[in-house]
Chain A
């Protein structure tokens, strides 16, 4: 009996021991994997980043400031901000509403809605832009708008629409899994305690999803500012009028104004870095 127990103990011991050995790769393999991962990041992330800033400042602070201060650059920055100020809040409202209805209600066609939300990820941005061009320039509806003096395509509203379309999954996609995992017990508790829908949302749901929501907003905003394909199709490329930052960068680059184009690019890169920092902070807050 005692012998049996001893042998059992040794077997378990041996098992865990060999189990660990199975999981542990030889030193060279671990080193190689790490080197591949870090080398890849260095080549494809760090070097280009560095490149953007060195190119931007190649001709010194002065020309950097001048490039950004240029009338067309200013207009591109302003237009990008304008598009984001409209598109991001609208997508936040849409995303929260979609996530709320998908996670808190039972209704037919829920899975269909989920699939639809993913659509912009599945469609090439250029196609998305093209769809808007077709809707607003080659249909009766488009003609009607034109007759009433509404210019959508090759104008700011078109840019906003294209950006809205491309970026609407971000907030919803961030919130749906979060809200699904949280369930609706707390909301039901709030309602049974006499809270109305708005108070339940404001005092119970929102505090529970705030970090996820912020994360979604940051991603949505980064994409809205950086979107090229869809926006390129609907913009019409009128310098100083309908060019956003990414489009303006292309124009500058095509005209061989390299350091100016890199100066503009550095703005988006800074935004990307800022986004990354916010994301890290948010994720740290996420897990207590």
Chain B
């Protein structure tokens, strides 16, 4: 089911939760709405579900059909709530069967068929044998999967998930993420999930929609948004980043002795900011005749497969983070208080942002 969101805004009293959002969701894709808290991502999801109505200007289309004022009951969406919202007084079986049981008599499947479908779903979400348990007797990950099975039982045209892994611990989250990815490639229902975790969005989604302050900042595949962030907000939001004071002229950024092409030919900015990710430096002990950024090594922190170095610029004292693989680290073999030479492999400069 293709979804079009046209010019959707939403106010809660004086608070503008969404302003003029336009978004197209392709049929069968897995889309992430990513943003910090308060960015409007959950509001947008709830508007798509029909749990909120947008301001009058906007429209929601499901496959060309305008559903803006159709309530959640009649939209045919499956919604997985952040805290699952399982019916606490019902067994797992009854939870999953609920959507079928409440159908009007003439479209309600018979008891036998309901049973077949519930057991099929239990198998799909790998919870066979737990149908008689109550939600309080399940672990967080199991509840999550019951919520998913319950949403899928009504054969939704669209599956919506609000922070699906938010309440789980890191290990379970990782497992469920992989499992959801596989499930989606199996059933191929158009799915949208909300998350504030950039790693989750980049790992799971076909496309990522990055939101901030009620607006969409960028839409793209995980590679696109990570490799070419549209603005400084996204650059900072998607992973750790160094900000370096730089002057920009003639299309080049000048950081210390280093000159780096920016592609922004008509920008003249004596006090601009350059963004460089910690792993995008090449590090050596000698300059080898190249213009480099000279820094002093202050701390060495091994974190899993990478070594994190904290260095200060010798020209202006700015603190930078540098990440090296263990191999690179061994080759350079730096010691605390050594002078190191950094050469950025890529950097990004954005024209000044005049919005607030």
Contact = CB atoms under 8 A, between A and B. Distances in A.
Contacts of B85: 185-186, 188-189
B89 A194 contact: no
B73 A196 contact: yes
Nearest to B79: A192
A203 interface: yes
A22 interface: no
Contact of A192 (B73, B87, B136): B73
Interface string A181-208: 0000110111111111001000110011
B110 to A, nearest CB: 17
Contact of B98 (A188, A190, A208): A190
Among A189, A191, A192, the one with the most B-chain Cβ atoms within 10 Å of its Cβ is: A192
Contacts of B261: none
Interface in A148-191: 185-186, 188-191
Contacts of B329: none
A188 to B, nearest CB: 6
A195 B87 contact: no
A193 B88 contact: no
A192 B78 contact: yes
B87 A186 contact: yes
B102 A188 contact: no
A223 B28 CA distance: 60
A199 B102 contact: yes
Contacts of A193: 98-99, 102, 150-151, 153-154
A155 B184 CA distance: 69
Contacts of A208: 88-89
B30 interface: no
Interface in B133-152: 136, 150-151
B71 interface: yes
A286 B154 CA distance: 32
Interface in B284-314: none
A207 B134 CA distance: 14
Nearest to B76: A194
A188 B81 contact: yes
A190 B49 CA distance: 13
A208 B81 CA distance: 18
Contacts of A207: 87, 89
Nearest to A185: B85
A148 to B, nearest CB: 44
B103 interface: yes
Contact of B154 (A188, A194, A204): A194
Nearest to B74: A194
Contacts of B73: 191-192, 194-196
Interface string B80-116: 0101011111000000001100110000000000000
Contacts, number: 64
Among B50, B81, B87, chain A packs the most CB atoms within 10 A around the CB of B87
A190 B51 CA distance: 11
A1 B136 CA distance: 45
B176 interface: no
B210 interface: no
Contacts of A199: 102
Contacts of B77: 192
A189 B102 contact: no
B72 interface: yes
Nearest to A208: B89
Nearest to A210: B89
B88 A186 contact: yes
A189 B87 CA distance: 9
A153 B319 CA distance: 85
Nearest to B88: A208
B19 to A, nearest CB: 21
A196 B86 CA distance: 17
B79 to A, nearest CB: 4
A100 to B, nearest CB: 17
Nearest to A193: B99
Interface in A54-97: none
B102 A192 contact: no
B113 to A, nearest CB: 16
A17 to B, nearest CB: 34
Contact of B72 (A186, A191, A203, A204): A191
Contacts of B75: 192
Contacts of B153: 193
A207 B94 CA distance: 14
Contacts of B89: 207-208
B88 A192 contact: no
Most buried by A among B49, B71, B89, B136: B89
Contacts of A190: 87, 98, 102
A183 to B, nearest CB: 8
Contacts of B103: 194
A186 B239 CA distance: 35
A207 B98 CA distance: 14
Nearest to A207: B89
User: Which of A193, A195, A196, A203 has most chain B Cβ within 10 Å?
Assistant: A193
A192 B51 contact: yes
Interface string B54-82: 00000000000000000111110111010
Interface of B: 49-51, 71-75, 77-79, 81, 83, 85-89, 98-99, 102-103, 136, 150-151, 153-154
Given A186-B87, A195-B98, A196-B73, 20 more contacts: A186-B86, A188-B51, A188-B72, A188-B79, A188-B81, A189-B81, A189-B85, A189-B87, A192-B49, A192-B50, A192-B75, A192-B78, A193-B98, A193-B150, A193-B154, A194-B74, A195-B73, A203-B87, A203-B102, A204-B87
13 contacts: A186-B88, A188-B81, A188-B85, A190-B87, A190-B102, A191-B51, A192-B78, A192-B79, A192-B151, A193-B150, A193-B154, A203-B102, A207-B87
List the 7 shortest-distance A-B pairs measured between CB atoms, nearest first.
Answer: A185-B85, A193-B99, A195-B102, A189-B85, A192-B79, A207-B89, A192-B72
